[in-house]
Amino acid sequence: MHIEQIREAADAIRSRVTGTPVIGVILGSGLGEYADRFSSPTILPYEDIPHFPKSTVPGHKGRLVFQEMHGRLIMAMQGRFHYYEGYDMETVTFPVRVMGQLGVRRLILTNAAGGVNTGFEAGDLMLITDHINYMGVNPLRGAHEPEFGERFPDMSHVYHPDDARVFEAVAQERGIRLRKGVYMAFSGPSYETPAEIRMARTLGADAVGMSTVPEAIVATQMGMRVSGVSCVTNLAAGIEGAKLDHADVMAAANRAKDMFIALIDGVIQEFCRKEQ
């Protein structure tokens, strides 16, 4: 995706929204309701923004929602673009580029994931401490645009430890059990086999999913502070022997959403204070 298209999308958003968003949040499968609870939102459907792709997955609304909190503007994406939908990586990460262009400094990524760590239970929330890109592609492949950042960005500290501490403090304050672990991204859309899950565990993964990593890579290149939380909607293939089903994944995300919303809301409020 060319820088001109990113600029045009950012300009279109600026013409409809007052202020500069400093915190961005991408709401994953079944978790979009957080932005439905905003008190005075400005809503921009993706189809109203030039060059924005359209979301094709049930449970993803496809709109940007802006809300002022503690004098700071936050920007939420209800619905993301997945590689498995057939988009190329530039398209998958286009909204993150636009967020960077608009001035977002902290990006919170959320997703539904399968639990690989056998100590996890369905419904757990997991703070992402690191990731493994197993998608077989990298969103930075292709012509280098120096304005976006480095050609070879350092990935040693993608998920910022200071921001992670904010998640842990909010979780403790609000009585939310927060697991921690490594998120491993597969391209999907088939779920993994039990053998693939054993492989993931051997390689150090605690959860598996089909998103988040491309966005984290692009945001890191652009100099944003990234944090991420997975809603463990199911134990991954082979652990309990049950069949995996998208409807069950959505239902589990739905059951965990109050806890998820309490966590994200607390973290965003704290981030807004830090951005003062």
Shortest gap between Cβ of 20 and ligand HPA (angstroms)? Answer: 33
9 in contact with ligand HPA (CB under 6 A): no
233 in contact with ligand HPA (CB under 6 A): yes
Strand 125-133 relative to strand 42-45, pairing = unpaired
Structural Rg of the chain based on CA atoms: 17
What type of residue is 106? R
Is 51 considered catalytic here? no
Shortest gap between Cβ of 134 and ligand HPA (angstroms)? Answer: 11
30 in contact with ligand HPA (CB under 6 A): no
Q: Quick one: which of 236, 262, 267, 272 contacts ligand HPA (CB under 6 A)?
A: 236
* DSSP at 85: G
Q: Contact region for ligand HPA (CB under 6 A) — 46-54, 62-70, 71-79, 208-216? A: 208-216
Q: Which residue is nearest to ligand HPA (CB)?
A: 114
Strands (E), the chain: 21-27, 42-45, 63-69, 72-78, 106-115, 125-133, 178-185, 207-209, 225-235
Distances (CA, A) of 138 to 6, 13, 77, 109: 19, 27, 22, 18
For residue 182, give the H/E element and its range.
strand 178-185
* DSSP-derived 3-state class of residue 115: strand
- Nearest alpha carbon to residue 263 among 181, 180, 177: 177
**Stretch 174-203 residues interacting with ligand HPA (CB under 6 A):** 191-192
Shortest gap between Cβ of 216 and ligand HPA (angstroms)? Answer: 16
* DSSP at 99: H
* DSSP at 261: H
- Closer to ligand HPA by Cβ: residue 65 or 112: 112
> What are the counts of helices (DSSP H) followed by strands (DSSP E) for the chain?
8, 9
Is 84 considered catalytic here? yes
Residues in contact with ligand HPA, shown as a per-residue x/- string from 91 to 120 under the rule CB under 6 A: ---------------------xxx------
Is 254 considered catalytic here? no
Is 246 considered catalytic here? yes
Residues taking part in catalysis: 29, 60, 82, 84-85, 112, 210-211, 234, 246
List residues near ligand HPA by CB under 6 A.
112-114, 191-192, 208-210, 233-234, 236, 244, 249
